[in-house]
Structure 1
Amino acid sequence: MSEPHVVGVDTGHTGALRDADHLLRAFAAELGPDAAVSGCTHHVRDGLRPHTALSFALPSERAARALWQRLTQDGPGGSEDAPGVAFGDERHGPGELAAGAALAAAERAARTGGRAVLYPGSGAVTGVLTVARLLEICSVERVAVLGSPEAASPETLLVTREHVRPEWREGRLVLVAMPAAGGTLVPFEVPDPTPCCADH
């Protein structure tokens, strides 16, 4: 299943993922509190340097077009410091950034890549809850346990640490978790890495 209403945005961000998360939330906030938007970060390896691009899946073509217009209102070519933006076959902004935006949008539309920051139910994923409850309250479809071919047991407790970043894999939103104390699980991604680790 593909999602056609996806806008890719690439600012050339090379900093920590937590900063990319803030950037993504800032873009999403501009759409207003009622916008049903899902947002992902994407690692771009093509071009001059590895960096992070963003994708936004919106509920309608009208909403996606509104975001496109807001991001491309500086003219046909965009200024040198404008982000790259992609929507369908349309591109805007500097060439390398427009290509990064297109890659992010394509991965998200095909559900083959992207680290989800905003997704349906993400605001409710807090505290400690069973895997079954996690799958019930948000759009995560599977909890994979690091190093195990089996999915996590529904009764297993997940300590969210208020930082749950599932990834799109082969059409499904999958959270990778690892074993923790007392037979619990924690998301593989650490919520607030130390600066020395975040920048590498």
Structure 2
Amino acid sequence: MTTPYDPSGVRPVIGVDAGTTTLREADHLIRDLTTTLGLPPGTVACTHLIRTEGRRGTAVSLALPENGSVEEVWRRLTATEMGAALDDRRHGPAEAAAAAAAEHTARRSGRAVLFPGSDQLTGTLTVADLLQLSAVDRVIVVGATSGDSPDPVIPVQTQDHVRPEWREGQLVLALVPAAGNTLAPFEVPNPTPCCADHP
């Protein structure tokens, strides 16, 4: 992996609720926040489905790689009208933001859009390369009868759209069989194509 990543899980997590309703909107929000908040390299940004009494849609969580950047990101975020949560601090309508932050902090759920090495996961690469180049901890093949990981040399057609999820403390990428004895991410770019207009 080429970007510093602390697997211990001890990192501050900020939850953000901008009123997004779809995964595509949340993906775009993360890309926008990367620029507007000046998110440092190594940030892990996830989407979370929100199903509370007053809110249906998505929120995002931002796990920052070092404590030094947290206060600056929080200051910039609280200058907006978005709901936000950090530890016991709240800004605006923050219930969904707090839920997203709690899930990410516990690494129980969250669909990672931005994570160390995510920019390297393009084109076709092997399972071994995917794991080595990024913060993805494990890959699984949907529908496989064995709990074993796929052969490390099997090619993965990333479709430039890799979205692992937190499962029991690990970033896990679900794959499915694809043409030519290859694998591909379970989540396809459509209906949630993300950010063709972003670098």
Which TM-score bucket, shorter chain as reference? Answer: 0.7 to 0.9
Q: How many residues align?
A: 184
Match for residue 12 of structure 1 among 19, 23, 26: 19
Deviations 1:48-70 (A, max 9, x none): 24210001111222311211111
Write the distance in 2 (CA, Å) between the matches of 1:133 and 1:35. Answer: 20
Map 1:7-86 onto structure 2 (within 5 A).
7-15=14-22, 17-32=23-38, 35-73=41-79, 82-86=81-85
Deviation at 1:3, TM superposition (A): 3.1
1:137 aligns with 2:133: yes
Match for residue 171 of structure 1 among 169, 172, 175: 169
Q: Name the amino acid aligned to 2:119.
A: G
Deviation at 1:31, TM superposition (A): 3.3
Q: Name the amino acid aligned to 2:150.
A: A
Deviation at 1:33, TM superposition (A): 7.2
Write the distance in 2 (CA, Å) between the matches of 1:163 and 1:86. Answer: 28
Contact 1:18 1:192 in 2 (8 A): no
Match for residue 124 of structure 1 among 93, 116, 120: 120
* Aligned twin of 1:105: 101
Structure 1 counterpart SS, 2:18: strand
1:89 aligns with 2:88: yes
Contact 1:38 1:58 in 2 (8 A): yes
Q: Name the amino acid aligned to 2:111.
A: R
Contact 2:33 2:39 in 1 (8 A): no
* Aligned twin of 2:5: none
Deviations 1:64-99 (A, max 9, x none): 12111112136xxxxxxx2210001111112xxx11
- Identical amino acids, percent of aligned pairs: 52
Stretches of structure 2 that go unaligned for 5 or more consecutive residues are 1-7, 194-199
Structure with greater proportional helix content? 1
* Aligned twin of 1:193: 191
CA gap 1:153/1:25 in 2 versus in 1, 3 angstroms: same
Structure 1 counterpart SS, 2:172: strand
Structure 1 counterpart SS, 2:85: strand
Structure 2 counterpart SS, 1:153: coil
After superposition, the CA RMSD in angstroms is: 1.8
Write the distance in 1 (CA, Å) between the matches of 2:86 and 2:102. Answer: 9
Q: Name the amino acid aligned to 2:17.
A: D
